[in-house]
Amino acid sequence: MSTVGRTKRVTTAAIEAMKGVRPIVSLTAYTTPIARLLDPHCDLLLVGDSLGMVLYGMETTVGVTMEMMIAHGQAVMRGAKHACVIVDLPFGSYQESKEQAFRNAARILKETGCDGVKLEGGEEMAETVSFLTSRGIPVFGHVGLMPQQVNTTGGYRSLGRSNKEAGKIRRDAKAISEAGAFAMVIEGTIEPLAREITAAVAIPTIGIGASAACDGQILVSDDMLGLFNDFKPRFVKHFAQLAPVVSKAAEAYAEEVKARTFPAVEHTFQPKK
């Protein structure tokens, strides 16, 4: 197959090599139009299972399915030409066994064409990460606050304040790094601990609610864009305020439809003279 004119995509190996070179820019993406807008500015786009909450109004990510992840992974791949694209393995698709994880990870790679998969977990998932990476599947790890485990961890909260929690997160990060993941998310973890882990592990750490000292950062794109007026966790910064813009546009549209000023003549098709 000819490669003439094809844009070179950032690889998982290139992401891993960025540790200590410069911060890695990451955002979530769930649709083709948003992927096209974010792609030129990002090293990595994550098709996160957060789509369950962001797009489908779910209370947690637990209800997200393989079919949902594949459909949105395909959509993002249509819009991303530059960034490394990673797709989340949803809850229940990899925890049963390393063989189950391989089947579902391979399916995601085959059906979306993405660059790798992400899974949550530390010491308990290290064997699975090693199994996947040794069989050609790049793995993006995820430690600290793990949204898929929210039902057993007491909700969404920052972690690492107690010696017990901090020790567990340290061990998790070390295990995932040594198992062969190319990078890992550190989520909802107190700043000094995230900083310490970043210095200790050999692979890049991507922070969300962690530390500026992490090797990169990620946010949910809808949070970054200010599309939710009623939701702003401490770790989120709105780089735009699009919610009122969208609301105002809808209001103006509704007014013109009711007044029959839209569509105007220039928005309609007229007989040729």
For 117-140, write each residue's pLDDT tens digit. Answer: 999 999 999 999 999 999 999 999
pLDDT (average), residues 178-200: 97
Annotated binding site for Mg(2+): 49, 88, 120
Q: Which residues are annotated as a binding site for 3-methyl-2-oxobutanoate?
A: 49-50, 88, 118
Please give the annotated binding residues, written as ranges. Answer: 49-50, 88, 118, 120
Task: Give the mean pLDDT of 110-114.
Answer: 98
Write out the catalytic residue numbers: 187
Determine the pLDDT at residue 273.
82
Q: Which fold has domain 12-242?
A: TIM Barrel (3.20.20)
Identity of residue 144: G
pTM of the model: 0.93
Q: How confident is the model at residue 231 (pLDDT cuts 50, 70, 90)?
A: low
Residue 1 has pLDDT above 60, yes or no: no
pLDDT for residue 153: 63
